[in-house]
Amino acid sequence: MKNNYSNPHFLMLLYTVLVSGSFHIGHFLVNYMDSTVLTFVRFLMGSVLFGIYVFPRYEVRVPSPSDLARYFAISASMIFYFWAMFEALRYTTPLNTAITYTVVPLFSAVYGIFLLKERVSLRNFIVLLAAMFGAMWVIIDGSPSRLVELDFNKGDIIFLIGCLCIGLYSPLSKKLHKGEPMPVLTLWTMITGTVWLLLIANVKILEINIRLLDAAFFAGVAYITVFATIATFFIVQYSSKKLPVSKVMSYIYLTPIFVIIIQTVIGKGLPHAAVIPGIATSVIATFYFLRS
C-alpha cells in the first residue's frame, strides 16, 4: 500500500482531484468576502506555511533589490490569476473555469516563443487553435449566436484573462530564475505576491468581520492553502523527478473530468449536451499538444 502512495501516477491523479476541488471550494468562498481580500488571505497563509518548511531546510537570504524585482514580476502573474479565479466564480461555474484552465500550458507555449525563443511547429500551432476553439465553445455555452453577438459570460472572460496571466508564470520563472532552489523561488514569489495584495486590497482587509466567518469558511481556506497550493506543489516536484514533464503536465487535462465527477457527487448535475464538443476538443487537443 505504501508503494501505491509513492507512485507518481497515483500522486498526479491526487493532484488533479485536489485542483478540481479548488474550483468548487473557490465558488463557495467568494460568498464571504471581496476577491482581492480572499486572494490576500490565501497568499498570506500560504507564505507562512510554506516558510515553515523552507526556512529550516534552505539558506534563505534577504533578496537584493534586483532579486526582489524578479520575484515581484513573477508573483504579479500569480496574484492576478488567483484573483481572477475567485472573481470569475461569482459569475460562472467551476466547470467553465476548469475547461478554460486547460489552455494555460498552451498560453505558456506562446509566451515561450517570445521570452525563451522556443519553437512551435505549424502542426502544434493548429492544435493550439483547436484547443482555443474548444475552450471558446464552452465559454459561449455551445451557442454560435452568442459569439456573433459578443454575448459572453462576464466570469468566463475574467478567468480567460487570468489564464493568460498565469500562462506567463512558467516561462517568466524560467527566464528570471538565477539558480536559487525552486522552493526558495516559490517562497519569495508567494511573499511578494502577499505584499502586492496588501497594497491593492489595503483598507478592504480592515473591513473583514471575523465574527461573520464560520467554520466552513476556515475549512475552505485551509483546503485552498494546504491541499490546493502547498500539497500540489510538492506532488509536482516529486512526480517531475519520476516522470517526463510531458506526462506530469498531461494530468492537468483530467481536471474537467474530475470537476464533472465532483459536480455530480455534490448534486449539481451534469453539463448540458451543447458544451460537450467543446470539452472534448479542448482536452484532446491540449493533451495531444503536450504529447507531440
Structural domain of 74: 2-291
CA angle 137, 249, 58 (to 5 degrees): 135
Q: Is the pLDDT of residue 1 over 60?
A: no
For CA atoms 252, 254, 256, 259, give the dihedral sign: negative
Residues 219-253: tens digit of each pLDDT: 999 999 999 988 988 898 788 778 766 667 767 77
The grid cell for 84 is 481572477
Which tops the pLDDT comparison, 150 or 110? 110
Q: Which pLDDT score, from 0 to 100, does residue 245 have? A: 63
Residues in the chain: 292
pLDDT in tens, 6-49: 788 889 889 989 999 999 999 999 999 999 999 999 999 999 99
How many domains would you assign to the chain? 1
> Cα(74)–Cα(32) distance, rounded to whole angstroms?
28
Q: At 90, which amino acid appears?
A: R
State the pLDDT at residue 128.
Answer: 73
Cβ of 202: how many Cβ atoms within 10 Å? 12
Q: Do 142 and 274 form a contact (C-beta atoms < 8 A)?
A: yes
What average pLDDT does range 115-127 have in this prediction?
79
Q: Is the dihedral of CA 234, 73, 135, 128 positive or negative?
A: negative
Q: Is 80 exceeded by the pLDDT of residue 154?
A: yes
Output DSSP code: residue 202. Answer: T
Q: How far is CA 50 from CA 14, 53, 77, 104, in A?
A: 20, 5, 19, 24
